[in-house]
Structure 1
Amino acid sequence: MKSFPHYLTLALLLLLLPLASQAQGGRRGERLNQLESAKIAFLTDKLALTPEQAQRFWPVYNEYSDKRRDLNRRLRQLRTDNPESLTDQQLRDNLRQALALRQQEVDLEKDYFERFQKVISIRQTASLFVAERQFTKQVLQRVADRRSSRVGGE
């Protein structure tokens, strides 16, 4: 068996995504863990990772995700809903910091682009970035579908 069985990955994904997008019930941490598990299954399937590749890939990917999440958190902290409350210098500083963080994000992607290729092929690396967007799009669509079904059903 060279890669994770696709039917098992899809079954896991179908079981976990509805749970991950529930707005009511369950704790937030549990939903996030379920969502993360679904993402792991989805990416493992889309990249067709062998067990050996998965063992080497996931620690590198998790490190990358943590760093990217931290940059995004710092970027969100710079945003303000009321720019009129800031001085011109504060606005200038915030914008410069935001640009610096975005550059750090690009630098991070460049670094991990190289690191990923040491544990997976170039085709799998290219597929990774596409698969991440696909996963996010599917999750957002499921959340939107759930919200619209709740609004329509009320």
Structure 2
Amino acid sequence: MKTSKFLLISILFISIHSFAQSQMEEKREQIKTLKVGFITNELALTPDEAAKFWPIYNAYEDKQFEIKHQKMKAFKERMDSDLDKMNEKEASALLAQMQSNDDELYQIRKKFISNLKNILPATKIIKLKKAEDDFNRKLLQQYRNKGSRK
């Protein structure tokens, strides 16, 4: 009897977890689609520019996402623990890892911009940064507005 209850609860938990992950992935894809449209519109990319730009941009975004969400996850878990129990040596090691990730993100962005210089004029590269910031600002505003209606 206990085994069947445990099995039922386990299956229910796994189902809920899988459903939540698929919803998160679906939301991420929706946001990505909106972002592509927004950036394309803001930069007024020609078909030739778009064909060269999007593979580079998508690779950059994927690498950036990996660093921010996979590598930083370990740091977040560590920082969510009791920081008062962390000794100086552990804190220094964690800080060094955080700086290393920040450096890696910076180097990826630097390489990305260097690659874009072969495809887009400098004005469009600057417009890209502005478009990314504007998109993120609008997305955050929509999230805040949605949260205040609940």
Common fold by TM > 0.5:
yes
Q: How does 1:4-153 map to 2 (within 5 A)?
A: 27-73=23-69, 74-79=71-76, 80-81=79-80, 82-150=82-150
CA distance in 2, matches of 1:32, 1:69: 11
Farther-moved stretch of structure 1 (78-87 vs 127-136) = 78-87
Runs of 4+ in structure 1 over 4 Å off: none
Unmatched 5+ stretches in structure 2: 1-21
Aligned alpha-carbon RMSD (Å):
1.4
SS at match of 1:53: helix
Name the CA distance, whole Å, in 1 between partners of 2:137 and 2:74.
Answer: 24
Q: State the identity %.
A: 24
Q: Deviations over 1:111-150 (max 9, x none)?
A: 1111011111111111111111110110010010011012
Structure number, greater radius of gyration: 2
5+ residue gaps, structure 1, are 1-25
Cα-to-partner distance string for 1:86-111 (whole Å, 9 max, x where unaligned):
22211110000101111111111111
User: Normalising to structure 2: TM-score of the pair?
Assistant: 0.78
Between the aligned partners of 1:124 and 1:115, the Cα distance in structure 2 is: 13
Higher helix content, 1 or 2: 2
Q: Distance in 1 between matches of 2:68 and 2:85?
A: 23
Task: Give CA-to-partner distance per residue, 1:23-77, whole Å, 9 cap, x none.
Answer: xxx9222221111100000000111111111111000001111111122121342
Number of positions where the alignment pairs a residue of Structure 1 with one of Structure 2: 125
Counterpart AA for 1:49? L
State the secondary structure of the residue aligned to 2:50. Answer: helix
Higher RCO (Cα < 8 Å, 6 or more apart): 2
